[in-house]
Amino acid sequence: MEKTSVRVLCPKLLIIRNVSGLQWLIGSPFFPQFTIVSTLTCIHTLGDSTSPDYNTESEDLRTLLLRGFHVIGALVVGSKCDLERVAGEAADASRRMRKFLYGDEYGGKLGNQDLIGAIADSESGEIHFFVSRGENPTGLECVRSVIYEDDSGKYVWDTGCLLHCVLPIKLPFYFPVNSPSDAGEMYLRATDVIIDKLKDSDVTYMVETLNETSVEAPGPVILHGAKLDFHADLFDVNRFGDSSQGSGAKSFPCSYFCSKNKAVFSVEHADIIQVSLLLNKSRTSSKSAAPIAEYVPASEQTKLLVVDYKLEVLCYAAKDLPVTYAVSKLVVPGLVDQLNSIKNTILPNLLTQHLQLHPYHFCPPGFLHPITVIYELSYGETEMKQVEVRRSLHSRLGLPFDRPLLRIANALNLSTTKDSAKSNSIRKGSSLLRDVHVGIPSSGVSGGVVSLVQGSYEYHHYLQDGFDDSGWGCAYRSLQTIVSWFRCQHYSSIEVPSHREIQQALVEIGDKDPSFVGSREWIGAIELSFVLDKLLGVSCKVINVRSGAELPEKCRELALHFENQGTPIMIGGGVLAYTLLGVDYNESSGDCAFLILDPHYTGNDDLKKIVSGGWCGWKKAVDSRGKNFFLHDKFYNLLLPQRPNMV
């Protein structure tokens, strides 16, 4: 008998979050059995018990999880005793959750699936995996082989792709004025009509690539509803590799629309297949006839109500899956899931509130695959109710509560046009270099621990924007880099301030006289802290050292800043200012290096020139020639912006 193995793709720390409770283990029918790609915390329980509220949990998971991923088990965090009993309860919870999620969708095979039951010690992090066999759910098999995948991104995206479908819905229906309670029933009927239309023989699905823009890009493939198989069993993956079905559209695998040479494997660089729905409202007939309008008078006074929203569905599929099955077993069920989720949200408020519901897709840090969230934006995303929705999502996904990771600005940009697909991850409105430190040579500190800025930033330096600030504007440029970091992490949407706007802010708070605006006067760390507080509401910590020779003594404190806060640091000493992006520190020997981003650069934005010229690079306090980078006869102020505590 072959030895049972569990393969873990998600980072181990995502499984152990030092919080007791239940977590759903997520896998895919396209991966080998018992392959865990992510975990989702159970946040809805019955009363004061730890038993899941399966109805509410399943509604949330149905929205969050892309079709192509599903629950394959459960993990209990915090238990140390009676391992087999607790593992059996975890497996049973996942079996019940699957029935709530999928019902009879997979036929009799659903209850016969083998599932994982796992227990984790919240203190030691040790995990015990068990397998509950479908045909004997009370008997557990202890798993001795657990594999933690090194290159998880490649594992998921080398053989997998995304399918994207956008469907605007405009749903008009009538209800009796004297019986408004009937509006709900009429709305449900209208929604059921749309669901039936998705599987109608007159529906046509056009499938095309979003990734390829060359002349060799494959053309679109047309799938007719009458030829789609909505009864195929998605668990029977082997049948999907069968290419003996002829040369028609049915034999085209998803790989037909995917890039042939991929070097980077991540959500941002995933192959995306666009699926568009077209409804053929004209029928072919041997006889020509004029259009016919039928008049059916209402028996009583009625009122017209129009509900409109947009469905936007993402699905994950193996590249060898024929597109017919990808559409019939992933895209269409995904549309139905989202339609029902929106219906359930709208129904209680149908006559009292016009909800603005919109689906967004995110891939938070630590996740290998996107998740989908439906936001209600009638009052904007900063409204307290929306903040609480995001906090709940952070809790479910194991995300920190001190940074915005699920705001609209964080959403994946899934354009439906090929021209903009190439710039999926590029923020509009900025042509400046970003993250110039990535890929630079190491510092040369033997046995050091590297602590770096977290997230993205833009490189601001002398003479940019056609503005000559050479000789006096280095601190202004460092401040602009810091502000860009807060923009890139979506803490703020304000534009990076110009020199004049920085000066105006200092005048408005009373720190400078009006004559300061338009001058060429220097500013330092204290002024930068005032501006960050006024423009962004960001507080700062300031470290003072009497001499540049003392800066290496602050390396441990600086490393803690980058690990806990992750913001760029401004260093000001004498007449010079720099931006600090990281430190490499050997605590035993005291040897250290500073990753400096130099705002004094005056050339064009040539990354190779900037790195080779040392304008971004590691600097030792004393280099190999005995030269001091930080002046010993000058005092230095270090400005450490603090990350806002917000979601």
Active-site residues, by number, are: 474, 598, 600
Residue with tokens 């509604």: 59
Q: Which of 502, 535, 497, 505 is nearest to 520 (CA)?
A: 502
Cβ atoms of residues 35 and 84 within 8 Å: no
User: Which residues are 412's β-sheet partners?
Assistant: none
Is residue 287 helix, strand or coil?
Answer: coil
CA distance 233 to 156: 22
Q: Which of 528, 621, 536, 617 is nearest to 577 (CA)?
A: 528
User: Which residues are 279's β-sheet partners?
Assistant: 203
Q: Which of 25, 7, 40 is nearest to 95 (CA)?
A: 25
CA distance 26 to 581: 36
Cβ atoms of residues 582 and 453 within 8 Å: yes
Residue type at position 112: N
Dihedral sign for Cα atoms in the order 230, 231, 237, 242:
negative
Cβ atoms of residues 87 and 119 within 8 Å: yes
Dihedral sign for Cα atoms in the order 19, 24, 28, 32:
positive
Backbone angles phi, psi at 131, to 5 degrees: -120, 130
CA distance 629 to 576: 11
CA distance 433 to 430: 9
Listed in sequence order, the residues at least 6 apart from 167 whose beta carbon sits closer than 8 Å to its beta carbon are: 277, 310, 311, 312, 313, 335
User: Which residues are 597's β-sheet partners?
Assistant: 579, 616
CA distance 100 to 98: 5
Residue type at position 27: G
Cβ atoms of residues 590 and 414 within 8 Å: no
CA distance 200 to 335: 14
Dihedral sign for Cα atoms in the order 461, 463, 468, 470:
positive
CA distance 35 to 160: 15
Q: Which of 331, 293, 5 is nearest to 145 (CA)?
A: 5
Buried b (16+ CB within 10 A) or exposed e, 235-272: eebeebeeeeeeeebbebbbbbbbeeeeeebebebbbb
Q: Using the 8-state DSSP alphabet, how is residue 49 labeled? A: S
CA distance 223 to 328: 10
Q: 15 is written with which tokens?
A: 């499984």
Backbone angles phi, psi at 174, to 5 degrees: -110, 150
Residue type at position 217: A
How far, in Å, are 25, 384, 403, 407, 613 from residue 380 at the CA level?
33, 9, 18, 11, 46
